[in-house]
Amino acid sequence: MVGIFLTLKRVQGSGYVAQTTMQPPDEAAQAALFREKGIPFVVIPLDEHSGWVEMQPEGAFTFRPRGELPGEFSKTELLPGEETTFPNLPAGTKIHVQGPVSAMLDWDADGEEKKDASFGITLPGTYRFIVESFPFERRLFDITVAMPSADARSVEQAETVIGPDAAQMRELAKYSAMRFFVQAAENDKVPATLRAMYVRKLEEAKAVLAGGTSAFIEAEIATRKEADPTFQATPQQWAEVIVGMAAQSDQIELQRMRVSAELDAAPADVLAILGVLAKHKIALETSPTSTNGTWAPM
C-alpha cells in the first residue's frame, strides 16, 4: 500500500477542494474506480506529512512534498544596521519579524524570480524570523542584534534597514539618557513636590554661608535635635551639608548635558550614536515598533 487517497473536486471552474479518503484495502482497485468515474485524485505517501498538489498539463495531479527552503542567513549575530544576507530568496516570500521591531515583509526580488535578500536591524535585541515561501515549509531563524561597545568600528551597512534611522535613533538615545539621569536624581525617593522646597532650602543655606542667618535652617536643626538628641550641627555646618547635597544634583545635570552634547555631536550613524550610550553605560530604552510594506533592496 502506497498511501492515502486525496480526491479533488473542482470549484467554480478555477480551483479545487480536497477530501481525504482513508487508505483503501485495495489501492489499485480504488484508483481504477476513481478513473472510471472521472474523479481526479492523488495519492499521498504515508511518510509525507506536508505537501502540495500540482496539476499537470494533461490534467493529471501529482503530489509534491514541500521540502525545506534552501539557504541560511549569512550572519545571525549582528551589530545595529549590519548586513546579513539570505541567498536566492524566491519572489513572493513573506517574512514575519518578531522582536523589539515587529515587521511583516513581502519580498519582491526586485522583479526577478529569486534574488539575494540583504537587510539589517538598528534596534538591539533578539529577533525571530518566520519565513514563508510556498511551496517550501515554513522556516524559523533567530537573529541577535547586540548593543555595540563604545569603541565599535563601522560595519558594512545593509541596503534595507528595519528600525529607527540615525535621526530617530539620536532622539531615542537622548530620551534614554534623560531617563537615566532622572532616575539617578530620584534615587533619594524624594517626591517632586518636595524638590521645590529643597530649592528654597538651598537659597537659605547659601545665605547662611554668606554670613547671614536663616530661621528656616535653625528650625530644621531644632526639629532634628528634638527627634534625635545626639544630633549636633551649627547653622553653618548644616548649610554646608545642604549645599553639598545640591552639588551632587548639579553634577548629575552636568553629566546629562555632557552626554546630550556628545549625542548631538555624534555622526549620523546608528553605531556611533549607540556607542555614546555604551561609553556612559546607559541602556537604550525602546518600545515596540512596526514596519509594514514591500521589502526590497533600494
Residue 32, domain extent: 3-65
> How many Cβ atoms from other residues are within 10 Å of residue 230's Cβ?
5
Residue 156 located in a structural domain: yes
Residues 151 and 251 occupy one common structural domain: no
Q: What percent of the chain has pLDDT over 70?
A: 78
Residues 137 and 54 occupy one common structural domain: no
Query: Model confidence over 156-202: pLDDT tens digits?
Result: 777 778 888 889 999 999 999 998 988 877 765 555 555 556 677 88
The stretch 227-241 carries a mean pLDDT of 90
Total of domains in the chain: 3
Residues 159 and 291 occupy one common structural domain: yes
Residue 147 located in a structural domain: yes
d(CA 89, CA 109): 7
Residue 72 located in a structural domain: no
Residues 111 and 250 occupy one common structural domain: no
**123 in Cβ contact with 100 (< 8 Å):** yes
Residue 70 located in a structural domain: no
At residue 19 the predicted structure's pLDDT band, cuts being 50, 70 and 90, is low
Q: End of a domain among 11, 43, 65? A: 65
d(CA 73, CA 86): 5
CA 113 to chain centre: 30
Residues 177 and 275 occupy one common structural domain: yes
Residue 71 located in a structural domain: no
Residue 101 located in a structural domain: yes
At residue 25 the predicted structure's pLDDT band, cuts being 50, 70 and 90, is low
**How much is the pLDDT for 298?**
29
Residues 105 and 240 occupy one common structural domain: no
Residues 255 and 192 occupy one common structural domain: yes
Residues 188 and 52 occupy one common structural domain: no
Residues 100 and 23 occupy one common structural domain: no
Query: Model confidence over 68-114: pLDDT tens digits?
Result: 899 999 999 999 989 999 999 999 999 999 998 888 888 887 888 88
- Beta pairing, strands 160-162 & 114-121: parallel
- For the chain, what is the mean pLDDT? 81
> 240 pLDDT exceeds 60?
yes
Residues 157 and 188 occupy one common structural domain: no
The DSSP H or E segment spanning 36 is: helix 27-37
**256 in Cβ contact with 186 (< 8 Å):** no
**How much is the pLDDT for 286?**
72
Backbone angles phi, psi at 89, to 5 degrees: -80, 125
